Structure 1
Amino acid sequence: MALWGGRFEQGVAEVTQEFGASLPVDKALYRQDIAGSKAHAAMLAAQGIISHEDERAIREGLEGIEADIDAGTFVFDINDEDIHMAVESELTRRIGEAGGRLHTGRSRNDQVATDTRLAAKALARDLMQANLGLRRALLVEADKAGATVLPGMTHLQHAQPVLLSHHLLAYVWMFTRDFGRLRSAFDASDASPLGAAALAGTTYPLDRRMTAETLGFSSVIDNSLDAVSDRDFLLDLEYACAVMAVHLSRLSEEIVLWSSQEFGFITLSDSYSTGSSIMPQKKNPDFAELIRGKTGRVVGDLTQLLVTLKGLPLAYNKDMQEDKEGALDAAHTLMQCLSVMTGMVSTWTVHADRMRAVMHRGHLAATDVADYLAKRGMPFREAHAVVGHLVLEAEKRGCDISELPFEAFQEASELFRRDITGALDIDAIVAARTTEGGTAPSAVADQFKRAQARYLVDESSMALLSPVVEMGHGA
Structure 2
Amino acid sequence: MTLWGGRFSSGPAESVAALSRSVHFDWRLAPYEIEVNLVHLKSLVAQSVVSKEEGGKIEKALLQLATEIGSGKFTYTKADEDVHSAIERGLIEKCGPVGGAIRAGRSRNDLVITDFKLYLVDHLLEIAAQITSLVQAFNAQAERHLDLIASGFTHTQHAQPITFAQELSKHSHGLLRDVDRIFDWLDRNNFSPFGAGALAGSSLVPKPEKIASELGFAGVMPNSIDAVSDRDFAAEALFIMAMIGVHLSKVGEEFILWSSTEFGWLEIDDAYTTGSSIMPQKKNADVAELARGKSGRFIGNLTSLLVVLKAMPFAYNRDLQEDKEPVFDSVDQLLLLLPAVSGMVATANFLPAKISKTAADGFSLATEIADFLAKKQIPFATAHEIAGECVKFCEKNGITLQQLTTVQLLTIHPSLTDEVKELLDVKGAVDSRRSSMATSKNSVSTALIQLKSEITRIESEISRRRKPLSGMI
TM tier relative to shorter chain: over 0.9
* Native 8 Å contact 1:161 1:430 kept in 2: yes
Q: Which runs of 5+ in 2 are unaligned?
A: none
- Is the 8 Å Cα contact of residues 35 and 470 (structure 2) preserved in structure 1? no
- Is 1:465–2:465 an aligned residue pair? yes
- Give 1:207 deviation, angstroms: 2.8
Tell me the distance in 1 between the aligned counterparts of 2:147 and 2:368. 20
Alignment length (residue pairs): 473
Cα deviations by residue, 1:318-375 (Å, 9 ceiling, x for unpaired): 0111111111111121122211111111000111111111123100110101211222
* 2:167 corresponds to: 167
Deviation >6 Å, runs of 4+: 470-473
Paired with 1:467 and 1:342, the residues of 2 have a C-alpha distance of 25
Q: 1:58-457, aligned counterparts within 5 Å?
A: 58-204=58-204, 206-457=206-457
Question: What's the CA shift for 1:470?
Answer: 9.3
8 Å Cα contact 2:131/2:179 also seen in 1: yes
| 1:80–1:86 contact (8 Å) kept in structure 2 | yes
Percent of aligned pairs with the same amino acid: 36
| Structure 1 residue 445 displacement after superposition | 2.2
Offset, 1:2 = 2.6
In 2, Cα distance between equivalents of 1:69 and 1:412: 80
* Pair 428,434 (structure 1): closer, same or farther in 2 beyond 3 Å: same
**Deviation at residue 205 of structure 1 after TM alignment:** 5.0
Query: 1:3-45, CA deviations, whole angstroms, 9 ceiling, x for partnerless residues?
Result: 3011110111111111111111100111011111111112111
1:58/1:95 contact within 8 Å kept = yes
TM-aligned CA deviation for residue 248 of structure 1: 0.8
Distance 1:268 1:197 in 2: 54
Structure 1 residues 470 and 401: alpha-carbon distance in aligned structure 2, compared to 1, 3 A threshold:
farther
Deviation per CA, 1:62-100: give whole Å up to 9, x if none: 222222222223242233210001110221122112101
The alpha carbon displacement at 1:186 in A equals 2.3
Q: Is the contact made by 1:127 and 1:335 (CA closer than 8 Å) also made in structure 2?
A: yes
Asked if 1 retains the 8 angstrom alpha-carbon contact of 2:191 and 2:218, the reply is yes
1:65–1:74 CA contact under 8 A, matched in 2 = yes
Q: Distance in 1 between matches of 2:372 and 2:193?
A: 65
In the TM superposition, residue 468 of structure 1 has moved relative to its aligned partner by 5.4
> For the residues of structure 2 that align with 1:205 and 1:471, how far apart are their CA atoms?
21
**Cα distance in 2 between the residues matched to 1:109 and 1:117:** 13
Measured after TM superposition, the shift of residue 102 of structure 1 is: 0.7
Greater shift after overlay, 343-352 or 437-446? 437-446
**Cα distance, 1:252 vs. partner?**
0.9
Matches for 1:34-45 after TM superposition, within 5 Å: 34-45=34-45
Instruction: Give the partner amino acid of 1:271.
Output: A
**Aligned-partner Cα distance in 1 for 2:377–2:470:** 66
Counterpart of 1:62, as a letter, is L
Contact 1:21–1:78 (Cα < 8 Å) also in 2: no
How has the CA–CA distance of structure 1 residues 115 and 205 changed in structure 2, closer, same or farther, with 3 Å as cutoff?
closer
Letter of the structure 2 residue corresponding to residue 204 of structure 1? L
Q: Distance in 2 between matches of 1:323 and 1:144?
A: 44
Deviates more, 1:462-471 or 1:254-263: 462-471
Q: Is the 8 A contact 2:147 2:163 kept in 1?
A: yes
Deviation at 1:221, TM superposition (A): 1.5
Gaps of 5+ in 1: none
- Structure 2 counterpart of 1:17: 17
**1:235 CA drift (Å):** 1.6
Q: Tell me what 1:46 maps to.
A: 46
What is the CA-CA distance between 1:138 and the residue it aligns to?
Answer: 1.3
Report SS of the residue matched to 2:160. Answer: strand
